[in-house]
A = this chain, B = another copy of it.
Amino acid sequence: MAKITVEKNLFCLPWTQTLLGTRVHGKVNFMALDWLTRVNFDPAMLGICVGRAHASNEAIRETGEFSVNVPTQDMIEVTDYCGIASARREDKSKLFEVFYGQLQKAPLIAVCPIAMECRVVQTVELPSNTFFIAEIITIYSEERFLTNGKPDVKKIRPFLLTMPDNRFWGVGDQVGSAWKDGTTFREKLKERTGRP
């Protein structure tokens, strides 16, 4: 099929929608966060990307701490509101009941099935954004969101964002098993090539 190019600045893969928690000049604040990834296995580290103009960016520079919270599909409107409203003009400090773990500048959202407190270890400045690399100090959940002690995406009910169509999606059916389905392929490959 003929390959064409698409607008490179807008396309995002489906990402899990999260809420970034900070304290801006002492006041609790939240923003919608989509640009994040694990960046180191051991110690467990996460990297998050925040535009330099955001109040949250200033807050993380000031405190060196933040939280990443995974909202459920029941929280779509309030989560999107956190992405639309700027802390510089609207007060988001009362939107959620918060709790604290070890870090006093990383407000954790009680209603979120997964909430992680993180401490910044490195800051990378990029042209329009800052990439904060942080150690995950603790991840909090509740028994009702786990299956066999592991967070269960079907119980957590997170939602995903795609851009530039700006749609939120649920997680669908299980379609495979990682570190397992590949062994089936390897067997087929061996049969095809006749190699042991």
Q: A160 with B168: in contact, given A6-B139, A43-B127 (CB under 8 Å)?
A: no
Contact across chains for B47 and A131 when beta carbons are under 8 A apart: yes
Contact across chains for B127 and A83 when beta carbons are under 8 A apart: no
Cβ-defined partner of A165 (8 Å) among B81, B152, B182? B152
Q: A129 with B178: in contact, given A5-B139, A142-B3, A162-B153 (CB under 8 Å)?
A: no
Q: How many copies does the complex hold?
A: 2
Closest to A13 in B: B16
Contact across chains for B153 and A179 when beta carbons are under 8 A apart: no
A133 and B143 CA atoms in complex are apart in Å by 37
* Contact stretch, chosen from A20-28, A58-66, A69-77: A69-77
Contact across chains for B129 and A39 when beta carbons are under 8 A apart: yes
- Bin the interface of chain A by size: 35 or more
Contact across chains for B165 and A8 when beta carbons are under 8 A apart: no
Contacts of A176 in B (CB 8 A): 73, 76-77, 80, 159, 167-168
Closest to A173 in B: B170
In the complex, per-residue mask of A132-163: 1 if CB is within 8 Å of any chain B CB, else 0: 01001111111110110111110000111111
Would you mind naming 5 contact pairs between A and B with Cβ atoms under 8 Å apart? A5-B139, A6-B151, A11-B139, A77-B182, A85-B182
Q: A179 with B5: in contact, given A131-B39, A172-B170 (CB under 8 Å)?
A: no
A45 and B37 CA atoms in complex are apart in Å by 14
Contacts of A16 in B (CB 8 A): 13-15
Contact across chains for A160 and B171 when beta carbons are under 8 A apart: yes
Q: A184 with B133: in contact, given A51-B41, A143-B4, A179-B83 (CB under 8 Å)?
A: no
Contact across chains for A177 and B168 when beta carbons are under 8 A apart: yes
Q: A128 with B41: in contact, given A166-B178, A171-B171 (CB under 8 Å)?
A: yes
Contact across chains for B158 and A167 when beta carbons are under 8 A apart: no
Contact across chains for B38 and A49 when beta carbons are under 8 A apart: yes
Contacts of A138 in B (CB 8 A): 5, 8
